[in-house]
């Protein structure tokens, strides 16, 4: 093996080891952790809301449609007039 190939091989190995090693881990701040947890909770609430809305929409679609007062009898209007009072 020639010296140039040996140097190239050593440089490639050093480069691969440098890229493969993970960066130094840093601690997260409390505010960042609280923010991430809050975003996660908000996403879960939205997903739960969409699931409940979808289920209730299916129930409304499956329910038979009926008139609001189909079971009631005929509509009767009653008027009461009190003639004893005078208008101002």
If DSSP states are collapsed to H, E and C, what string results for 14-56?
A: HHHHHHHCCCCCCCCCHHHHHHHHHHHHHHHHHHHHHHHHHHH
Q: What is the structure's pLDDT at 6?
A: 87
* pLDDT per position as a tens digit, 2-57: 887 888 899 999 988 888 877 777 888 999 999 999 999 999 999 999 888 888 77
The C-alpha angle 64, 67, 68, rounded to 5 degrees, equals: 110
CA-based radius of gyration for the chain = 38
Global confidence as pTM: 0.41
Q: What is the structure's pLDDT at 57?
A: 74
Domain boundaries, the chain: 29-60
């Amino acid at each position: 093996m020639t010296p140039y190939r040996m140097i190239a091989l050593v440089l490639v190995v050093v480069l691969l080891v440098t890229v493969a090693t993970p960066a130094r881990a840093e601690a997260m701040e409390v505010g960042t952790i609280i923010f991430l947890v809050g975003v996660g909770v908000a996403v879960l609430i939205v997903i739960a809301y969409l699931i409940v809305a979808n289920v209730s929409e299916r129930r409304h679609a499956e329910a038979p449609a009926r008139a609001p007062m189909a079971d009631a009898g005929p509509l009767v209007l009653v008027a009461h007039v009190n003639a004893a009072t005078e208008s101002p």
